[in-house]
A and B are shown apart, each in its own frame.
Chain A
Amino acid sequence: KAGVTQTPRYLIKTRGQQVTLSCSPISGHRSVSWYQQTPGQGLQFLFEYFSETQRNKGNFPGRFSGRQFSNSRSEMNVSTLELGDSALYLCASSLGGAGHYEQYFGPGTRLTVT
């Protein structure tokens, strides 16, 4: 079974621009969560989508948004990029539904904002 895939793997953007990252979960998984990883703050939860609905949200500004499609693929968008948005963005997929399930991470998208 294929793992979680994320595209693109690397991105360089300029401050003020916007960016869209994509995540394809493991086949059969319906929940996708997004995390930001930085050296200073570690791994922090951004949001979770299940059945095309945002189910949970972390403490990030409204510039960070996401969506999920009917095939469970998810995208996240960051608008008006700031230098501090430079990070590894990770998505994790799980079965979803009621209860708690194991989460499997993709390789991440490394975003550099200049």
Chain B
Amino acid sequence: QKEVEQDPGPLSVPEGAIVSLNCTYSNSAFQYFMWYRQYSRKGPELLMYTYSSGNKEDGRFTAQVDKSSKYISLFIRDSQPSDSATYLCAMSALEYGNKLVFGAGTILRVKS
């Protein structure tokens, strides 16, 4: 079983929809949680960085972490065609140093 599970999709939504992306994990030591966006043939771009449980909002993006359920989410409001990309969750623990453990990535397609 992988440490981080993420549905690869693809997830297809109409423009303006609220998108929900999720990851589950098995390692209770994970404390740092990230979401990256990766466009085709580009490097991952950091969207959200959170520590421990709770919510964090940045513009149209909201990240949620529920450590008791080992479940993290990224919500995208008012989705745009430009949001079409692969979304990767990543996690780390202090004992891992800077090593990130990634989910497989979810392909998102926003249709205009």
Contacts and interface: CB of A to CB of B under 8 A. Distances in A.
B32 interface: yes
Given A100-B32, A103-B46, A105-B43, A58 B99 contact: yes
A106 interface: yes
Contacts of B96: 56
A62 interface: no
B17 to A, nearest CB: 26
Contacts of A42: 102-105
B57 to A, nearest CB: 17
B65 to A, nearest CB: 14
B88 A43 contact: yes
A108 interface: yes
Nearest to A95: B98
Interface string B79-112: 0000000001010101011111111110000000
Interface string A57-90: 0100000000000000000000000000000001
A94 interface: yes
Interface of B: 31-32, 34, 36, 41-46, 49, 51, 88, 90, 92, 94, 96-105
